[in-house]
Amino acid sequence: MTTTPQAVRRASPRTRPPAKKPTKAPAREQAATDPAAALLPQTEPVRLLDPDGTPRPARADYPEPPVEALREMYRRMVVGRRFDTQATALTKQGRLAVYPSSRGQEACQVGAVLAVRDTDWVFPTYRESMALVSRGIDPVEVLTLLRGDWHCGYDPTRVHTAPQCTPLATQCVHAAGLAYGEAHQGRDTVALAFIGDGATSEGDFHEGVNFAAVFKAPVVFFVQNNKYAISVPLSRQTAAPSLAYKGVGYGVPSEQVDGNDPVAVLAVLTRAVAHARAGNGPYLVEAHTYRMEPHTNADDATRYRDGAEVDTWRDRDPVARLETYLRTRGALDDAAVAAIAEQAEAYAADLRERMHTQPEVDPLSLFDHVYATPTPQLVEQRELVRAELAADREDGR
């Protein structure tokens, strides 16, 4: 069994409010006799805060992150949620073609990007807009895809973030290749691949995890199990005890975590990233969370789930949970909460204003990036379009 430094380090008293004995991690203790046991997730999702914000007993395997990190996490979650609400509003105003909300998944969206460095690479799906703005990418560049003026609005090489991926799970193999390529060139980059519960049924998820494992590539596969793939429930995706059990067959250590517990998400991902960066190969994390909104603004979630279910998850809100905990710790007060809310409003106002400017899109740019140098056929077609546009202008169209 490989253990990261975090696995054996004791939680410091400062970050351990109730001074109870650390709980055991039973699966991992069987590792000496059963090699698979070392890879299995714990039978219950790791949880460090109860839904009402009460801290659970400290544990040796997942020490609580420093309170400064949690405060920053709270700030980003509040801004992220406001961004998400604003983006949904922009669809209603016709400024965005469509928006897949990640409301309710703030702990996952923010925790994941907090766990990696700026030089690490992130491989997002279309639902990770909040994670990307939390990473510091310009929200207008993030929303370019959904506004429809181009596909990817940011320069992936500058922000170390792949384009948001729509073909399900295909980014998993890219993450494996990137991570292996970086290591091959002597860099200690980690790749973080986001994926949803439905996409774990796709072949590329399995090929990505397997390639990463075989080549010992430093990848963290982060499954946000939000319970629905558009309308199809998790029970139609898998018969496994949980998605975290998919790692063992590939020789990949795995963990499951309460995805609405910000403290646990950050703790688990921090350990997973350290495991990968230390040269131990990939790690799989499943976060149990819930998509509070429909799949996108174009979806009607009432056709496949009832309000009572949504209400249960409303009671597990990750933002409120962290706020309560930080207030108990004395790390947050009314003034700080108000100041952060004000920041979030300013962020949304700025986004609103910038999104109300209609972007200039040059039809002739359609030919610029198909190849490094356009083929003769594209040069001909460019000329055709140029002539069409000139004729339109003459006709005053």
Cα 101 from Cα 291, distance rounded (Å): 8
Q: Which is nearer to another protein, 72 or 138 (CB)?
A: 138
Could you write out the three-class secondary structure of 338-371? Answer: HHHHHHHHHHHHHHHHHHCCCCCCCHHHHHCCCC
Least Å distance, CB 188 to another protein, is 13
Least Å distance, CB 176 to another protein, is 6
* Catalytic annotation present for 295: yes
Q: Which is nearer to another protein, 208 or 259 (CB)?
A: 208
User: Which of 47, 206, 277, 304 is flagged as catalytic?
Assistant: 304
User: Which of 56, 295, 316, 321 is flagged as catalytic?
Assistant: 295
Cα 203 from Cα 188, distance rounded (Å): 28
| Residue type at 53 in one-letter notation | G
Least Å distance, CB 143 to another protein, is 15
* Catalytic annotation present for 126: no
Q: Which is nearer to another protein, 223 or 266 (CB)?
A: 223
Q: Which is nearer to another protein, 186 or 396 (CB)?
A: 186
Cβ contact 110:76 at 8 Å: yes
Q: Which is nearer to another protein, 132 or 322 (CB)?
A: 132
Cβ contact 224:196 at 8 Å: yes
Please report the DSSP string for 273-323 in residue order: HHHIIIII--EEEEEE----S-SSTT--GGGTS-HHHHHHHHTT-HHHHHH
Q: Which is nearer to another protein, 68 or 362 (CB)?
A: 362
Give the distance from CA 78 to its chain's centroid: 16
Least Å distance, CB 370 to another protein, is 5
Residues that bind another protein (CB under 8 A): 121, 150-152, 155-158, 162-163, 167, 170, 172-182, 184-185, 189, 191, 203-204, 207-208, 210-211, 214, 365, 368-372, 375-377
Q: How far is CA 269 from CA 7, 160, 188, 262, in A?
A: 13, 18, 17, 11
Residues 6+ apart with CB under 8 A from 392: none
Residues 6+ apart with CB under 8 A from 148: 96, 97
Give the distance from CA 138 to its chain's centroid: 17
Least Å distance, CB 213 to another protein, is 9
Residues 6+ apart with CB under 8 A from 267: 46, 48, 62, 63, 64, 65
* Catalytic annotation present for 382: no
Structure tokens of 13? 């008293």
Structure tokens of 125? 């799906």
Q: Which is nearer to another protein, 150 or 230 (CB)?
A: 150
Cα 395 from Cα 47, distance rounded (Å): 66
Least Å distance, CB 367 to another protein, is 10
Cα pseudo-dihedral 377, 381, 386, 391, rounded to 10:
140
Least Å distance, CB 149 to another protein, is 11
Catalytic residues: 291, 295, 304
